[in-house]
A = this chain, B = another copy of it.
Amino acid sequence: MQNNDSKKAVVLLSGGMDSVTVLALAKSQGYSVYALSFEYGQRHSSELAAAKRNAKYFKAQEHRIITLDMGALGGSALTDHSIDVPTEASDDIPVTYVPARNTVFLSYALAWAEVLQANDIFIGVNAVDYSGYPDCRPEFIQAFESMANLATKTAVEGNKLKIHTPLIDLTKAEIINLGLDNGVNYAETISCYQANTKGGACGECDACRLRKQGFVDAGVKDITRYT
């Protein structure tokens, strides 16, 4: 365990398996964690319930849920209910893509970090299984960090801001094993794009298929609740 006692970190927490693993890691590394979630008209609002449970379980200092008016801009199956969620794998960028989502999420994390005078932001992006999202790639994260270090009062005053992406090079199987080592209960995480109100996963969407395969590859029992 690193000695980061009293160091504050903002952790982006969707309630999915990746972000909960990151929360557990930040906590294991001794950070005082400030969990940040978003309500943005996503279909899978049971994700937010999972975020709340995990923020509490991992003793986040605070958990803020920001309401985003993202749906007003349209353009994604996750916020536009007139577009079907795809169940087929594809090499193209999926229609579940929310425009500039991680840019917006990280911008809020940056704003909160500045208010908290925190120099550390954690995000569970993953380049291996990134499923076609351009804002999950290392080069995007590096560019965001460079921009962030020019954007804020904190940066002007010389406090370097760091965006931590501990999962970026890991497979889903490696993420699962890392999370298990750090106390994550994956039954309490929701990855499904269209989970029902009780948190039951569809088992068919992109996110479910990646997750299922992760448990198979990790050689670990999949305790996800399916509908």
Contacts and interface: CB of A to CB of B under 8 A. Distances in A.
A68 B70 contact: no
B156 A103 contact: no
Contacts of A67: 67, 69
A99 B109 CA distance: 10
A135 B149 CA distance: 10
Interface of A: 64, 66-70, 72-75, 93, 97-104, 107-108, 110-112, 114-115, 134-135, 137, 139-140, 143-144, 146-148, 150-153, 155-156
Given A69-B67, A97-B153, A134-B153, A111 B115 contact: no
B139 A150 contact: yes
Contacts of A143: 143, 146-147, 150-151
A41 B107 CA distance: 18
Given A66-B73, A99-B114, A139-B150, 18 more contacts: A64-B73, A66-B72, A68-B69, A73-B111, A93-B156, A97-B153, A99-B112, A99-B152, A100-B107, A100-B111, A100-B148, A102-B151, A103-B151, A104-B104, A134-B152, A143-B150, A144-B151, A147-B147
